[in-house]
A and B are shown apart, each in its own frame.
Chain A
Amino acid sequence: MLARMTFASQLGAGKVEGLEVPWHDTLPTEQDPKLLVERLGARLLGAAPDSATLRIVLEELNDLSDPKQQRAAAVALLLGSPEFQRQ
C-alpha cells in the first residue's frame, strides 16, 4: 500500500522515471484550490464535489501556496486514496 501511495506521489510530481504525464495540458493549474480539487476529483474518481475524499484533499492543500505543488499533491492524494483503490 505504501508503494502505491509513493507511486501516486511521484506520478503527481512528474517524478516517475520514463513516464511523462502532460499535466499542464490535461489539468491546468488553478488559482482556486477548490476548483482544482473538484475538477480532478471528477476526472480521476468521478467524485461528487461534496465527497469526503475531496473535502480532505482540499483541506490538505491549504498548507501549500504554489498552484503546481497543489496540483501535484491533489493528484497524489486522489490517485493514492482508498476511493481510487476501490474503483
Chain B
Amino acid sequence: MMTRMSRRALLGASALSSLGLLFETRAGRADAPATAPPVLVCVFLRGAADGLNLVVPHADAAYYAARKSIAVPRPGEPGGAIDLDGRFGLHPRLAPLKAAYDAGELALVHAVGSPHPTRSHFEAQDYMETAAVGDRSASQGWLARYLKTAPSGGTGLLRAVAVSSRSPLSLRGYQDAIIAPSLRDFRLGASAELEPVLAHGFERLYRADAAEISERAGGQALGASVALRKVLRKRARTGYSRDTQDFADVARLIKAGVGLETAWIDLSGWDTHRGQGSSEKGDLPRQLDRLGRALSAFRADLGADFERVVVLVMSEFGRTVRENGTGGTDHGHGSAMMVLGGEVKGGRVLGNFPGLTTEHLHEQRDLAVTTDFRDLLAEVCERHLTCADATALFPGFQLDRSKRLGLFA
C-alpha cells in the first residue's frame, strides 16, 4: 500500500504525464515566447462601461455640454484627462496605461460595438458573446467556435480558462474550458484528510483518454485542476493587489507555458446609473482604477511573453451621452474598446468617431457605432491568433477586410 504522500505525488505525476504536460522553468525554456501559442485575453466589463469617460473626447464641446457633473475635465485642468492625440484622452484613473500607449502597445478603438439596438444587458451580452447578432437561438460562443476549429499546438487541457462566476456564453460549445470564479477554486473540494484519497480515486475512475465523453471530461477536469494548482503555487510577481489577483493567475498560466490560448476575465460593476463620478470619486473612477492597475501589472509581469499576448477589453454597449438626474448615465449604444499587446500597433485612437452633436447620435441620444465589434474580433483572430479565415466564427456576418483597423503591424 502506498503512503498518502506518494499517492498525492503519483496523482500529480500521472495526471500530468498522461496529458503530456511539461512544466519547465523559464530559465530552461529560453525559446518559449517564440514557440508558445499566441494568447488572447478578453476582459469583459459587464454592465455596459461608459466608453465616453474611458476614452474622453475632450475636443468635442458637445461632450461637456451633455455632462455637467460627470465629464472628465480637459487635459491640463485639475483631474483632467490624459491627452493622447489632441482629440481624446484617457481617464486619469487609467494613467498606469499611458506608458503602454506611449510604447505603442495600447490601441483604443472608439465608437465600436454591436449594431443591434437593444439596451438589454443580457441580450446585448449574448449577442456579443455568440457574435450572432440578433439571433436569440445561437447556442455557441465565438471563442468556442475558434477553439474548436483552430489547430492546437498543445495538449488542449489548458487551452481556455475563464475567471467568471458564471459560464461565459463566449465559451459555450467548447467543453474543455476551465471556468471558475477564481482559478484557485478549480479544485476538488474535500477535507484535507479525504482530498488525497478522493483525488486519487477519482483519477482512477475517470480516465482522460477514455472513449466515453463524460469519463474523459472528468479525467481532463482532474488533470486540469492538478496542473492549475501546480502553476498557481508559484509566487506571483509583485505589483498586483488583492483585487487584481485574477490577472496575476492568468499571467502565471501564460508564463508557465502550459498551452493557454484564450483567457476570459469577467469584471462586473460597470452599470453606473447613479453616482458615476467624474475623475476622482464615484463608481466609474473606482472601477477604472482597478482596471488600470490590473492591466499595467499584467503587462509588466509578462515580460517577453507579452509579445504573444493580446488583451481585449470590451463591454456589451456604451452609455448615454447625456448624464441623467442621479449623477450617472443610462444604457446607450456605442462604446470604446482597448487592445493591448506586444505586437499591437498601438499609440493610436482608432475608429471613426462620429461626434456627439445630436444629429450624429444614435437615436438622438447615444454614441453611434461606426465599427462593428465583429470586424475588430476578426482582425484579432486572423492577425494575432491562428485563424486563417474568421468568417465561420461570426455567423451571418459578412466580413469586410477592407474595414480593418490596422491593429497589427
User: Which of A60, A73, A82 contacts B214, CB < 8 Å?
Assistant: A82
Residues of B within 8 A of A63 (CB): 1-2, 4, 7, 196-197
Which residue of A2, A64, A80 has the most chain B CB atoms within 10 A of its CB atom?
Answer: A2
Q: Does A24 contact B (CB under 8 A)?
A: no
**Bound-state Cα–Cα, A67 to B197, Å:** 14
Is A69 located at the chain interface by the 8 A CB criterion?
Answer: yes
Q: Which of B190, B194, B201 has the largest count of A CB atoms less than 10 A from its CB?
A: B201
CB within 8 Å of A: which of B181-203?
186-191, 193-194, 196-198, 200-202
Report Cα–Cα, A72/B125, bound state, in Å: 42
* Chain B facing A: main interface SS: helix
Nearest B residue (CB) for A4: B218
| A13 x B194 contact (CB < 8 A) | yes
- Closest A residue to B7 by beta carbon equals A63
Assembly CA distance A10 to B202 (angstroms): 14
Closest approach, in angstroms, between the C-beta of A68 and any C-beta of chain B?
A: 11
Instruction: Confirm or deny: B206 has a beta carbon within 8 angstroms of a beta carbon on chain A.
Output: yes
**When the two chains form their complex, are residues B193 and A69 in contact, meaning their CB atoms are under 8 A apart?**
yes
State which residues 1-53 of A face B: CB under 8 Å: 1-2, 4-6, 9-10, 13, 15, 53
When distances are taken between beta carbons in the complex, the residues of chain B under 8 Å from A73 are: 194, 197-198, 201
Complex alpha-carbon distance, A15 and B189, angstroms? 10
Q: How far is the CA of A45 from the CA of B204 in the complex (A)?
A: 18
Is A56 in contact with B201, judged by CB distance below 8 angstroms? yes
Asked if B243 CB lies within 8 Å of chain A CBs, one says no
Assess whether B193 is in contact with A82, with CB atoms less than 8 Å apart: no
B189 CB contacts on chain A under 8 angstroms: 6, 9-10
Q: Is the CB of A77 within 8 A of B202?
A: yes
Question: If A63-B1, A63-B4, A69-B193 touch, does A9 touch B198 (CB 8 Å cutoff)?
Answer: yes
| Residues in chain B near residue A85, CB distance under 8 A | 214-215, 218
Tell me whether A80 and B197 are in contact in the complex, defined as CB-CB below 8 angstroms, given that A1-B218, A5-B218, A85-B214 are known contacts: no
For B304, the chain A residues whose CB sits under 8 A away are none
Q: Which of chain A's residues have a CB closer than 8 A to the CB of B205? A: 53, 56, 77, 80-83
Q: How far is the CA of A56 from the CA of B198 in the complex (A)?
A: 11
Q: Which residues of A contact B (CB under 8 A)?
A: 1-2, 4-6, 9-10, 13, 15, 53, 56-57, 60-64, 69, 72-73, 76-77, 80-83, 85-86
Using CB atoms and an 8 Å cutoff, list the residues of chain B in contact with chain A. 1-2, 4, 7, 186-191, 193-194, 196-198, 200-202, 204-206, 210, 212, 214-215, 217-218, 221-222, 225
A–B Cβ pairs within 8 angstroms, 23 of them: A1-B214, A1-B221, A2-B225, A4-B218, A5-B188, A5-B202, A5-B222, A6-B189, A9-B189, A9-B190, A9-B194, A9-B198, A15-B191, A56-B201, A73-B201, A76-B190, A76-B198, A77-B198, A80-B198, A80-B202, A82-B206, A82-B218, A83-B205
